[in-house]
Structure 1
């Protein structure tokens, strides 16, 4: 690996053209880059509607939004806005489009290279060849052994005289600044409360409805108010209603459903005041951990070693084991269901977005309650 420790860019572009959670996990990279280049201008390019995780980020000067499927006119405007305006681009996703944006925008690039989860093949190597050619330094994805935050931070390796320094100090995820909650919510909030976010982006990350019913009932009997969270997506709103329909009237009266009514910064404010957060593998779970809220997350097919919520302040490259029914690091507890196939990194048992995941179906609510008790004892 060539060393570029004397390189001092004046303008840097970070590119993350994926989901909300993918934007949040770039923030440790941005913070470490700021330590290296305190006087550089940092800009960020991502998809419209996916960049609220950066609200108020002290290191970002300008946020550039683009559609996930831009037309010709938008491409032309973006080209004119970006063309060779930057000294360096960080391409934090392996997509061809992200690399093309980096090629257009900057004189030099570093980037993440993708590949098949079970290993590289000839097709992948050919697809990655041009990306390697245009980059000063690249980092390979490892979906099982390398944490995604480590993956991003390693993009800085060639800019350090001693790359091990990257992981020798506490590593933090920077959440967005908070926004005030509406009076309609604050007037109903009661301390202590637990935030539950049951809706993932895809069905194979769902936990069964009756398990949520059991857990919510248990929490309320312990004296907590339960606050349900969800995105404005129709499937998430319906999921929350399905859960509520299973509760008795007495229990349901003590549940506050905020589904679809919170911005990401407002969700951060809600999480900062919570006694506990419980959710599945989704972006709000990463936000909860970033807000230093005690977090319990339910993992199925996804390897926690790759995308487990980062325990804020952790020192090192890997907080988690690949497989453990329960593991706690800092304020984050990860629970996994049974089975030698866990985690498989497939899209559920049928390997498609609408599949179930048996490992989550068999993750009993009693296991989650046990984790809650341990957190309360601490």
Structure 2
């Protein structure tokens, strides 16, 4: 093993492909890996493969020479075209997602591969053990085609550490990976549209209430109470959201609960910003408050004071990375309030927190009792600590 590790540490690939075929947040958390790989191979050419419409987090990234987009559900013709484009074009591929398709792309594209392996968390009952056994069998061929793999640990290993560990085979000393400040690279900002710029007034707070799935939502009445309190503290509130129908509707529902005086100091930016523009908006904010979603990771990457409301998701796995942190794990698994750098993570009460299930009913449209019990008072106290003046 030592001989192999030493041999790999002298490897100098000329062309490298990074593969992240999931959501925009999954693309953003690969940027520390990309930066570290650039330190290791300053002259290599880096390309990135991901889903169409999910790659804006790489806008202006100085390390990426080419971005390759594919559909999340390509047809045969698109598969054929992509395979022809990728075939043995790279010396090395980083497969940062455990899906079969991502590994097939890596197999087609590169002579050598390293990859992340999925798995089922260790459980005591027969069903958990059966799922774990199945995932281990599915991983057999992936291990066979890779020179190095890293197992996912949804509770104890941060996702950024997981990605960085893909590089450990190329270092003589693994400790070098985590001995310097680790930073997430946000997209280069773009100017805001006049519609938004003309309404902005300092100081303002960006509030992002819409997650990808319903079980990560915070109750409407809590947003109403929080926004009303912010306005009383003389903050303008910018309510951001993606163009998705459910997110636009959520913002509308929150605003409908506000009184007329409060509404005057709230700007609804739902669907009006690209990801690079969202970065520009967040950089100018006094504070960002959001749920467990990709824009919350963007806020932390922009070094804006960030308050993140977490329910089922373990912050030890997917908490927004506090830029400049040195080490492998910035967070505790369970803490009602924890602050590292400019990031504060709040969790609701309960011994089951975090469960990593899809809410209390374990389905996408479920409620999460831990978020229902995370009261606005807890958020307000965190704001007062983050912005003492």
Query: TM-score, with normalisation over the residues of structure 1?
Result: 0.99
Report the Cα distance in structure 1 between the residues aligned to 2:154 and 2:133, rounded to whole angstroms: 18
Counterpart pick for 1:21 among 25, 41, 45:
25
Instruction: Indicate yes or no: 2:207 matched with 1:203.
Output: no
Report the Cα distance in structure 2 between the residues aligned to 1:269 and 1:105, rounded to whole angstroms: 35
Counterpart pick for 2:10 among 6, 21, 29:
6
Report the Cα distance in structure 2 between the residues aligned to 1:256 and 1:117, rounded to whole angstroms: 42
Report the Cα distance in structure 2 between the residues aligned to 1:117 and 1:215, rounded to whole angstroms: 36
Counterpart pick for 1:75 among 72, 79, 90:
79
Instruction: Indicate yes or no: 2:355 matched with 1:351.
Output: no
Shift of 1:163: 1.0
Per the alignment, residue 36 of structure 1 pairs with 40
Superposition CA RMSD, Å: 0.8
Q: How many corresponding residue pairs?
A: 378
Report the Cα distance in structure 1 between the residues aligned to 2:16 and 2:173, rounded to whole angstroms: 22
- Give matches, 1:82-161, under 5 Å: 82-118=86-122, 121-161=132-172
Report the Cα distance in structure 2 between the residues aligned to 1:277 and 1:93, rounded to whole angstroms: 28
Shift of 1:102: 0.1
Shift of 1:262: 0.2
Shift of 1:118: 3.1
Per the alignment, residue 181 of structure 2 pairs with 170
Per the alignment, residue 197 of structure 2 pairs with 186
Runs of 4+ off more than 3 Å = none
Structure 1: give runs of 5+ residues left out of the alignment. Answer: none
Per the alignment, residue 337 of structure 1 pairs with 348
Counterpart pick for 2:240 among 220, 226, 229:
229
Report the Cα distance in structure 2 between the residues aligned to 1:16 and 1:103, rounded to whole angstroms: 14
Report the Cα distance in structure 2 between the residues aligned to 1:292 and 1:123, rounded to whole angstroms: 41
Per the alignment, residue 288 of structure 1 pairs with 299
Shift of 1:185: 0.6
Report the Cα distance in structure 2 between the residues aligned to 1:29 and 1:128, rounded to whole angstroms: 22
SS at 2:304 equivalent? coil
Report the Cα distance in structure 2 between the residues aligned to 1:219 and 1:235, rounded to whole angstroms: 24
Per the alignment, residue 226 of structure 2 pairs with 215
Per the alignment, residue 259 of structure 1 pairs with 270
Shift of 1:377: 1.5
Per the alignment, residue 250 of structure 2 pairs with 239
Report the Cα distance in structure 2 between the residues aligned to 1:117 and 1:222, rounded to whole angstroms: 44
Structure 2: give runs of 5+ residues left out of the alignment. Answer: 124-128
Shift of 1:85: 0.1
Deviations 1:4-62 (A, max 9, x none): 10000000000000000000000000000000000000000000000000000000000
SS at 1:115 equivalent? coil
Shift of 1:123: 1.2
Instruction: Indicate yes or no: 2:64 matched with 1:46.
Output: no
Report the Cα distance in structure 2 between the residues aligned to 1:302 and 1:129, rounded to whole angstroms: 28
